[in-house]
Amino acid sequence: MFISMNEAVEFLKNCDNVYILTHQSPDGDCTGAGFALHDILRNMDKKSAVLCCDEFPDKFNFMTDTENNADFTPETFITVDVADKRLLGKYEEIYGDKINLCIDHHISNKDYAERTLLEADSAAACQVLYRLSCAMGVELSDYAACCIYTGIATDTGCFKFENAGAETHRIIAEIMYRHKLKYADINRKMFDIKSKARMILESRFINLMEEYLDNRLIIAPVTIDIINEIGIDYDEFEGLAPMTIELDGTEVGVLMKEREPNIYRCSFRSANDVNVSEICKILDGGGHAKAAGCTIEGCTLEEAKRRIIEAVRKVMP
């Protein structure tokens, strides 16, 4: 059931012993929202912990290096930035049907939780959480502000994407005005610093790009063989998908990452008006109009590509 901001405020005021769950392959937004909410709750003298089925990448240490003890009996389950309970990974089975509140900004949200606070026009789950903290009348700590900044910065590609509108800039200005925030440091950590393996993958990217549908579709498959050869970690793929739409003339770009043999995590990006959330819906995934994803499994790479091309053809004019 979708709820209003005020209903979410009431719920948060009255909850306790909270497990906050993020999505698998944690990004800056779900990590930021998870730890910011954790900080808000503990400052209200509530017990909480942030859980993710995958490990948080080291580059998020400045958010995750905090007291985070899940050693209590949870009564409340909250997801942040999780559009579909399947994105909880191995935690889906344990917690998937117990989620009391979902805080999200994905238009494709599956409404799997008891209550869902959905703001599909928000740039990030962290932006929804910021507005929620204002509605609750809580003063953010510098730490929580830093987490929220990071989530908004990463989900907007450092304030570059269309989702970074006036409201987003207004909120960021407010956060910068009120809090000590080393935003240049955060931006460098999130967007500029790369491992050597990541640089090698980027240098080889042009050879991975395959052109389809009159060069309007680019598919870049990164197989386990390549991943092993380069020695790149899965958490080093963030920010790589936009490279699939850098080539002039591309409408849709797809980064395929072979997570396990014949399990492909696919990240879709749209350069202009093609709605990739619609494409991913056909492939049993979801997301936003300009950035979406799905998992294709149980088939060969060639078959997976064929399914992608077919789905793109259905949506792209």
Tell the smallest beta-carbon distance from residue 29 to Mn ion (Å).
Answer: 3
Q: Which of 210, 111, 204, 127 is nearest to 163 (CA)?
A: 127
81 binds Mn ion (CB under 5 A): yes
SS3 content of the chain, % helix, strand, coil (to 5): 45, 20, 40
Indicate the residue among 8 and 292 with the shorter CB distance to Mn ion. 292
Indicate the residue among 29 and 236 with the shorter CB distance to Mn ion. 29
Choosing from 39, 84, 92, 155, the residue that interacts with Mn ion (CB under 5 A) is 155
Q: Which stretch binds Mn ion (CB under 5 A): 41-49, 59-67, 81-89, 260-268?
A: 81-89
Give the torsion through C-alpha atoms of 165, 287, 81, 182, to 10 deg: -40
Indicate the residue among 156 and 250 with the shorter CB distance to Mn ion. 156
Q: Which stretch binds Mn ion (CB under 5 A): 25-33, 61-69, 231-239, 292-300?
A: 25-33
Q: Which residues contact 253 (CB under 8 A, 6 or more apart)?
A: 217, 218, 219, 220, 241, 242, 243, 244, 245, 246, 268, 269, 271
Q: Which stretch binds Mn ion (CB under 5 A): 46-54, 117-125, 183-191, 307-315?
A: 117-125
104 binds Mn ion (CB under 5 A): no
Give CA–CA dist 231/209, Å, rounded. 20
CB 315 within 8 A of CB 279: yes
Indicate the residue among 29 and 258 with the shorter CB distance to Mn ion. 29
For Mn ion, the binding residues in 262-301 under the rule CB under 5 A are none
Give CA–CA dist 20/74, Å, rounded. 10
Choosing from 8, 24, 25, 29, the residue that interacts with Mn ion (CB under 5 A) is 29
Indicate the residue among 12 and 124 with the shorter CB distance to Mn ion. 124
CA angle 115, 288, 201 (to 5 degrees): 125
How many H helices and E strands in the chain? Answer: 13, 11
What single string gives the DSSP state of each residue in 18-66?
Answer: EEEE--SS--HHHHHHHHHHHHHHHHTT--EEEE-SSPPPGGGHHHH-S
Strand order across the beta sheet in which 252-260 lies = 210-212, 217-222, 252-260, 263-270, 291-297, 286-287
251 binds Mn ion (CB under 5 A): no
Q: Which stretch binds Mn ion (CB under 5 A): 16-24, 55-63, 70-78, 151-159?
A: 151-159
Tell the smallest beta-carbon distance from residue 200 to Mn ion (Å).
Answer: 28
Which residue minimizes CB distance to Mn ion?
Answer: 29
Residue 2 is given by DSSP the state: B
Tell the smallest beta-carbon distance from residue 23 to Mn ion (Å).
Answer: 9
Count of residues near Mn ion by CB under 5 A: 5
Q: Which stretch binds Mn ion (CB under 5 A): 65-73, 120-128, 166-174, 303-311?
A: 120-128
Name the amino acid, one letter, at 280: C
Tell the smallest beta-carbon distance from residue 126 to Mn ion (Å).
Answer: 8
Indicate the residue among 28 and 74 with the shorter CB distance to Mn ion. 28
Tell the smallest beta-carbon distance from residue 298 to Mn ion (Å).
Answer: 28
CB 17 within 8 A of CB 74: yes
Indicate the residue among 20 and 208 with the shorter CB distance to Mn ion. 20
Indicate the residue among 123 and 232 with the shorter CB distance to Mn ion. 123
Residue 128, helix vs strand vs coil: helix
Residue 235 is given by DSSP the state: G
Site residues (vs Mn ion, CB under 5 A): 29, 81, 124-125, 155
